[in-house]
Amino acid sequence: MKITFLGTGTSVGVPMIGCKCETCISTDERDRRLRASILIEHNGFYIVIDTSTDFRQQALRLGLDSVDAIFITHCHADHVFGLDDIRPINFRTGKAISCFASERTWRDIHQVFSYIFRPSGYEGLPKLIPNRIEGAFELFGMRVEPLEVIHGRLPVTAFRFNTEKSWAYVIDCNVIPDETLAQLKDLDLLIIDSLRYREHPTHLNLEKTLKYIEELKPKQTLLTHMSHDFRHNLLSGQLPEHISPAFDGLQIEI
Protein backbone atom coordinates (compact mmCIF):
# COMPACT_ATOMS: atom_id res chain seq x y z
CA MET A 1 0.00 0.00 0.00
CA LYS A 2 1.27 3.43 -0.89
CA ILE A 3 0.23 6.73 0.72
CA THR A 4 0.91 10.00 -1.11
CA PHE A 5 0.44 13.34 0.61
CA LEU A 6 -1.49 15.49 -1.86
CA GLY A 7 -1.61 18.40 0.59
CA THR A 8 -0.40 19.02 4.14
CA GLY A 9 -1.56 22.60 4.70
CA THR A 10 -4.21 24.21 6.84
CA SER A 11 -7.39 25.76 5.39
CA VAL A 12 -5.72 28.86 3.88
CA GLY A 13 -2.74 26.94 2.50
CA VAL A 14 0.95 27.86 2.82
CA PRO A 15 2.10 30.36 1.67
CA MET A 16 -0.91 32.33 2.84
CA ILE A 17 -2.14 35.10 0.55
CA GLY A 18 -0.45 38.39 1.44
CA CYS A 19 1.84 36.95 4.13
CA LYS A 20 5.60 37.64 4.08
CA CYS A 21 6.59 35.54 7.10
CA GLU A 22 9.71 33.33 6.99
CA THR A 23 7.67 30.23 6.07
CA CYS A 24 5.58 31.97 3.42
CA ILE A 25 8.70 33.36 1.66
CA SER A 26 10.73 30.17 2.22
CA THR A 27 12.35 28.64 -0.88
CA ASP A 28 12.17 25.14 0.69
CA GLU A 29 9.56 23.26 -1.39
CA ARG A 30 8.47 21.46 1.79
CA ASP A 31 7.16 24.80 3.10
CA ARG A 32 4.61 24.98 0.28
CA ARG A 33 1.48 23.25 1.49
CA LEU A 34 -1.71 22.72 -0.48
CA ARG A 35 -4.90 21.93 1.40
CA ALA A 36 -4.85 18.63 3.36
CA SER A 37 -5.55 15.39 1.49
CA ILE A 38 -3.94 12.01 0.88
CA LEU A 39 -4.06 9.42 -1.88
CA ILE A 40 -4.02 5.72 -1.01
CA GLU A 41 -3.01 3.12 -3.62
CA HIS A 42 -3.92 -0.44 -2.68
CA ASN A 43 -4.31 -3.55 -4.87
CA GLY A 44 -4.42 -1.29 -7.94
CA PHE A 45 -7.22 0.89 -6.51
CA TYR A 46 -6.96 4.62 -5.78
CA ILE A 47 -8.69 6.25 -2.82
CA VAL A 48 -8.52 9.93 -1.92
CA ILE A 49 -9.28 11.16 1.57
CA ASP A 50 -11.03 14.50 1.03
CA THR A 51 -11.33 16.41 -2.25
CA SER A 52 -9.52 19.53 -1.12
CA THR A 53 -9.86 23.01 -2.55
CA ASP A 54 -6.64 22.17 -4.43
CA PHE A 55 -7.76 18.77 -5.77
CA ARG A 56 -7.39 19.79 -9.43
CA GLN A 57 -3.84 21.01 -8.93
CA GLN A 58 -2.99 17.98 -6.79
CA ALA A 59 -4.31 15.53 -9.40
CA LEU A 60 -2.45 17.30 -12.22
CA ARG A 61 0.79 17.44 -10.23
CA LEU A 62 0.67 13.70 -9.60
CA GLY A 63 -0.72 12.65 -12.98
CA LEU A 64 -3.72 11.13 -11.20
CA ASP A 65 -6.27 10.00 -13.78
CA SER A 66 -8.34 7.48 -11.84
CA VAL A 67 -10.10 7.50 -8.47
CA ASP A 68 -12.02 4.45 -7.22
CA ALA A 69 -13.28 5.86 -3.93
CA ILE A 70 -13.46 9.10 -2.00
CA PHE A 71 -13.60 9.33 1.80
CA ILE A 72 -14.75 12.64 3.26
CA THR A 73 -13.70 13.51 6.82
CA HIS A 74 -16.09 16.48 7.18
CA CYS A 75 -17.71 19.15 5.07
CA HIS A 76 -15.40 22.13 5.63
CA ALA A 77 -14.41 24.08 2.53
CA ASP A 78 -10.74 23.04 2.57
CA HIS A 79 -11.75 19.34 2.55
CA VAL A 80 -14.59 19.28 0.01
CA PHE A 81 -14.38 22.24 -2.35
CA GLY A 82 -12.54 20.15 -4.96
CA LEU A 83 -15.50 17.76 -5.28
CA ASP A 84 -16.64 19.31 -8.56
CA ASP A 85 -13.20 18.57 -10.04
CA ILE A 86 -13.78 14.81 -10.05
CA ARG A 87 -15.78 15.35 -13.28
CA PRO A 88 -12.83 14.77 -15.66
CA ILE A 89 -12.32 11.41 -13.94
CA ASN A 90 -16.01 10.58 -14.43
CA PHE A 91 -15.70 11.60 -18.11
CA ARG A 92 -12.54 9.53 -18.61
CA THR A 93 -13.72 6.33 -16.91
CA GLY A 94 -17.44 6.69 -17.66
CA LYS A 95 -18.11 5.62 -14.08
CA ALA A 96 -19.51 7.15 -10.91
CA ILE A 97 -17.15 7.20 -7.92
CA SER A 98 -18.05 5.66 -4.54
CA CYS A 99 -18.00 8.34 -1.90
CA PHE A 100 -17.98 7.53 1.83
CA ALA A 101 -18.99 9.97 4.57
CA SER A 102 -20.91 10.03 7.84
CA GLU A 103 -24.61 10.87 7.88
CA ARG A 104 -23.81 14.30 9.37
CA THR A 105 -21.23 15.01 6.64
CA TRP A 106 -23.67 13.91 3.90
CA ARG A 107 -26.27 16.36 5.25
CA ASP A 108 -23.74 19.17 4.94
CA ILE A 109 -22.54 18.02 1.49
CA HIS A 110 -26.15 18.04 0.23
CA GLN A 111 -26.45 21.67 1.33
CA VAL A 112 -23.12 22.86 -0.07
CA PHE A 113 -23.39 20.91 -3.34
CA SER A 114 -27.17 20.88 -3.78
CA TYR A 115 -26.80 21.12 -7.59
CA ILE A 116 -25.10 17.70 -7.72
CA PHE A 117 -28.09 15.95 -6.19
CA ARG A 118 -30.94 17.91 -7.79
CA PRO A 119 -32.44 16.02 -10.76
CA SER A 120 -31.58 18.20 -13.76
CA GLY A 121 -30.88 15.80 -16.59
CA TYR A 122 -27.55 17.60 -17.12
CA GLU A 123 -24.81 15.08 -17.91
CA GLY A 124 -21.86 17.23 -16.86
CA LEU A 125 -22.38 17.01 -13.07
CA PRO A 126 -20.03 15.12 -10.74
CA LYS A 127 -21.13 11.48 -10.54
CA LEU A 128 -20.97 9.93 -7.08
CA ILE A 129 -22.26 6.77 -5.47
CA PRO A 130 -23.07 7.94 -1.92
CA ASN A 131 -22.22 5.52 0.91
CA ARG A 132 -23.18 6.35 4.46
CA ILE A 133 -20.52 5.27 6.94
CA GLU A 134 -22.08 3.40 9.84
CA GLY A 135 -19.27 1.22 11.11
CA ALA A 136 -16.22 -0.74 9.98
CA PHE A 137 -16.27 -1.98 6.38
CA GLU A 138 -14.13 -3.87 3.88
CA LEU A 139 -12.99 -2.12 0.72
CA PHE A 140 -10.51 -3.27 -1.95
CA GLY A 141 -9.08 -5.90 0.40
CA MET A 142 -8.55 -3.71 3.43
CA ARG A 143 -10.50 -3.20 6.61
CA VAL A 144 -11.53 0.39 7.21
CA GLU A 145 -12.52 1.52 10.70
CA PRO A 146 -14.15 4.95 10.84
CA LEU A 147 -13.56 6.72 14.15
CA GLU A 148 -14.96 9.92 15.59
CA VAL A 149 -12.85 12.89 16.66
CA ILE A 150 -14.01 16.33 17.77
CA HIS A 151 -13.26 19.54 15.83
CA GLY A 152 -14.52 22.33 18.09
CA ARG A 153 -18.09 21.08 18.29
CA LEU A 154 -18.19 19.23 14.98
CA PRO A 155 -17.71 15.46 14.87
CA VAL A 156 -15.14 14.55 12.18
CA THR A 157 -14.45 11.09 10.75
CA ALA A 158 -10.94 9.73 11.26
CA PHE A 159 -9.95 6.45 9.59
CA ARG A 160 -7.97 3.44 10.71
CA PHE A 161 -6.79 1.05 7.98
CA ASN A 162 -5.80 -2.52 8.66
CA THR A 163 -4.01 -4.74 6.18
CA GLU A 164 -0.78 -6.45 7.17
CA LYS A 165 0.11 -3.12 8.81
CA SER A 166 -2.16 -0.67 10.67
CA TRP A 167 -2.23 3.06 10.19
CA ALA A 168 -4.62 5.93 10.79
CA TYR A 169 -5.48 9.36 9.39
CA VAL A 170 -6.70 11.72 12.10
CA ILE A 171 -7.19 15.33 11.08
CA ASP A 172 -9.20 18.42 11.98
CA CYS A 173 -9.65 17.80 15.67
CA ASN A 174 -8.77 19.34 18.98
CA VAL A 175 -10.04 16.41 21.05
CA ILE A 176 -9.76 12.65 20.52
CA PRO A 177 -12.44 10.98 22.68
CA ASP A 178 -11.33 8.10 24.95
CA GLU A 179 -13.29 5.56 22.89
CA THR A 180 -11.39 6.60 19.76
CA LEU A 181 -8.05 6.65 21.58
CA ALA A 182 -8.65 3.02 22.53
CA GLN A 183 -9.04 2.21 18.82
CA LEU A 184 -5.83 3.99 17.84
CA LYS A 185 -3.49 1.65 19.70
CA ASP A 186 -0.77 -0.49 18.05
CA LEU A 187 -0.37 1.62 14.94
CA ASP A 188 2.58 1.32 12.59
CA LEU A 189 1.86 4.82 11.32
CA LEU A 190 -0.24 7.70 12.62
CA ILE A 191 -0.95 10.73 10.43
CA ILE A 192 -2.30 13.46 12.67
CA ASP A 193 -3.45 17.08 12.79
CA SER A 194 -0.92 19.55 14.19
CA LEU A 195 -1.78 23.11 13.27
CA ARG A 196 0.77 25.34 14.99
CA TYR A 197 2.68 25.97 18.23
CA ARG A 198 -0.03 28.01 19.99
CA GLU A 199 -3.35 26.55 21.13
CA HIS A 200 -6.31 26.67 18.78
CA PRO A 201 -10.03 26.18 19.54
CA THR A 202 -10.68 23.55 16.85
CA HIS A 203 -7.27 22.00 16.04
CA LEU A 204 -4.48 20.23 17.89
CA ASN A 205 -1.45 22.39 18.48
CA LEU A 206 1.99 20.77 18.61
CA GLU A 207 1.95 20.28 22.40
CA LYS A 208 -1.42 18.50 22.36
CA THR A 209 -0.45 16.42 19.33
CA LEU A 210 2.73 15.28 21.11
CA LYS A 211 0.71 14.33 24.22
CA TYR A 212 -1.55 12.08 22.15
CA ILE A 213 1.47 10.54 20.40
CA GLU A 214 3.03 9.85 23.81
CA GLU A 215 -0.17 8.11 24.89
CA LEU A 216 -0.76 6.13 21.68
CA LYS A 217 2.89 5.24 20.95
CA PRO A 218 2.59 4.62 17.18
CA LYS A 219 5.81 3.32 15.60
CA GLN A 220 5.97 6.36 13.31
CA THR A 221 4.03 9.64 13.18
CA LEU A 222 3.63 12.23 10.43
CA LEU A 223 2.14 15.65 11.15
CA THR A 224 -0.23 17.34 8.71
CA HIS A 225 -2.77 20.20 8.33
CA MET A 226 0.05 22.60 9.24
CA SER A 227 -0.04 26.38 9.16
CA HIS A 228 2.75 28.83 8.31
CA ASP A 229 3.80 28.72 11.99
CA PHE A 230 5.89 25.68 11.05
CA ARG A 231 9.06 25.93 8.96
CA HIS A 232 9.71 22.37 7.83
CA ASN A 233 13.41 22.22 8.66
CA LEU A 234 13.04 24.00 12.04
CA LEU A 235 10.14 21.78 13.12
CA SER A 236 11.96 18.61 11.98
CA GLY A 237 14.88 19.55 14.21
CA GLN A 238 12.58 19.96 17.22
CA LEU A 239 10.99 16.50 16.97
CA PRO A 240 12.20 13.03 18.00
CA GLU A 241 13.25 10.66 15.22
CA HIS A 242 9.92 8.76 15.03
CA ILE A 243 7.88 11.97 14.51
CA SER A 244 8.20 14.22 11.48
CA PRO A 245 6.24 16.82 9.57
CA ALA A 246 4.78 15.47 6.34
CA PHE A 247 5.15 17.52 3.17
CA ASP A 248 3.33 17.70 -0.15
CA GLY A 249 4.41 14.90 -2.46
CA LEU A 250 5.76 12.69 0.35
CA GLN A 251 5.16 9.00 -0.40
CA ILE A 252 5.15 6.23 2.20
CA GLU A 253 5.04 2.49 1.49
CA ILE A 254 3.31 0.63 4.26
Residues that bind Zn ion (CB under 5 A): 11, 16, 19, 21, 24, 76, 78, 172, 228
Order of strands across the sheet with 243-245?
A: 137-139, 142-151, 154-162, 166-170, 189-193, 220-224, 243-245
- Selection from 48, 127, 47, 120 nearest residue 84 by Cα: 127
Least distance between Zn ion and beta carbon 92 (Å): 28
- Per-residue burial over 210-235, b if 16 or more Cβ lie within 10 Å, else e, is bebbeebebebbbbbbbbbbbbbeeb
Least distance between Zn ion and beta carbon 127 (Å): 25
Answer yes or no: are the C-beta atoms of 10 and 23 closer than 8 Å.
no
Q: 25 to each of 50, 175, 205, how far by Cα in Å?
A: 27, 32, 22
Q: Considering the complex, state which of residue 166 and residue 180 has its C-beta at the smaller distance from Zn ion.
A: 180
Least distance between Zn ion and beta carbon 227 (Å): 8
Q: Considering the complex, state which of residue 17 and residue 241 has its C-beta at the smaller distance from Zn ion.
A: 17
Q: Considering the complex, state which of residue 127 and residue 231 has its C-beta at the smaller distance from Zn ion.
A: 231
Least distance between Zn ion and beta carbon 14 (Å): 7
Least distance between Zn ion and beta carbon 60 (Å): 21
Provide the pairing of β-strand 37-42 with 243-245.
Answer: unpaired
Q: Considering the complex, state which of residue 133 and residue 139 has its C-beta at the smaller distance from Zn ion.
A: 133
Least distance between Zn ion and beta carbon 158 (Å): 12
Q: Considering the complex, state which of residue 65 and residue 199 has its C-beta at the smaller distance from Zn ion.
A: 199
DSSP string, 41-87: EETTEEEEE---TTHHHHHHHHT----SEEE-S---HHHHTTGGGGH
Q: Considering the complex, state which of residue 90 and residue 209 has its C-beta at the smaller distance from Zn ion.
A: 209
